[in-house]
Structure formats: structure tokens, C-alpha cells
Amino acid sequence: MTAKIIAIDGPAGAGKSTVAKMVAEKLGYVYIDTGAMYRSIAYLAMKNNIAFDDEEKLTELAQKAHIELVNDDGVPRIFCNGEDVTALIRLPEVGTAASPVSAVWGVREALTAQQRALAHKGRVVLDGRDIGTKVLPDADCKIFLTASLEERAKRRAADFAAKGIKVELKDVIIDIKKRDERDSQRAHAPLKQAEDAFYLDSTDLSIEQTVEKILELANPRRR
């Protein structure tokens, strides 16, 4: 029997969101984009000129924010306080800001509560940095998805190029390396593999192969 709650954790650029969406689609599950939720708070902070180290204001921002994950004819869209931020939160500067913002304890607590409420309805796939360790330690199936730094940077650069955003590969490598360090060293819910999570290195795997491997891991009968 396939797991009802599938948690996919891993570092920046590992392809978590892309893979999680495909797994959810194949299973007929709901995809909960936790990264988009943190990016939404980072976007709000930038929009309101709130410093990324102002924990009090960031916490208040997260507690009051109304984030909606909407399926628009098969296309997932994210609304924050009524504004469609789907494209805006994918800008490089927002992605960079999401790391320090997500390290704020109050922000994490506010969004974790929302994520748990959504997940416990069942038949869901979530991806993030601490889903299996902090948000849903009771998840049926936990995956720690990663890839080499160079491969992750190439994938991220390709994503930007597809959206018409020009970036230098060396700059993406530097950015991802910094995010890895921040995410793994933060005081609250640092990025790490859950003890009972399956480790999956997708460096030499295609997206389709990675999805198939996760489907196997999520269903004991297919392993």
C-alpha cells in the first residue's frame, strides 16, 4: 500500500519541487509546496522593507499572511494575501532571501502549523528542508533527495534560463553553496536527513527515473 504522506527533503537545487509535483500527479495526491510558502514570506518582507534579521516583524508577517495553494486547471499557483505571487517568488533574489527568513523560529512555527494541518488530511506529497525531521516526523515515507553541487547548479541555471532569466553558472554554484551552509547550520530545524529517511542521490538519474524510484520507495510492494 502506498504511503499516505510522502515527505521529500533535500538541499537547494536537488529538484525536490519538480519531482514532488510529478509524484503527486502520478498518485493523484495533493502537492504541498512548502518552499513556496517560505518564499512568499520572503517576498512580503522585501515588499514591506522588513530586514531579514528582524525576527519580531517577520514572525508577525508570517502569522498574519494568508497563503493559498491553488490548482488552476492543473497548474499550481500561489496567492499571498490575495496577490498571485507564483512567478514573483521564483526570482533569484527572493530565493536567496528565503533562506534567512526561513531560519526565523517564529516564521517556521507559523508555517509549520499550516503545513501540518494540510498534510494530515492525507494523500499528500510535501517537499522542503525539515519535513521529515520537524514538520511531519510521523510521515509514512521519507525521502532525502540530493545531487552533487555542480549538478544542482546546472539544474537551477536551466530552470532560470527556461524562464528567460540569464544567470552565470559560477554564480549559481556560489549561491547554492551558501544556501547549503545556512540551511544546515541554522539553529532551528536545520537541513539534515531524518534517521528513517531513504537517501536518494539523483546526480546520474533523469527526472523520470527519480520519480519512479520514489514511487517504489513509497510502496513496499514495489521495492
Q: Hey, what CATH topology would domain 5-210 get?
A: Rossmann fold (3.40.50)
Separation CA 161–CA 73 (nearest Å): 25
133-157 per-position pLDDT tens digit = 999 999 999 999 999 999 999 999 9
The whole-number pLDDT of residue 52 equals 95
82-107 per-position pLDDT tens digit = 999 999 998 989 988 998 998 899 99
Better-scored residue on pLDDT, 163 or 58: 58
What is the rounded average pLDDT of the residues 65-79?
83
Q: Which of 70-74, 177-181, 198-202 has the lowest mean pLDDT?
A: 70-74
Separation CA 187–CA 178 (nearest Å): 16
The whole-number pLDDT of residue 74 equals 67
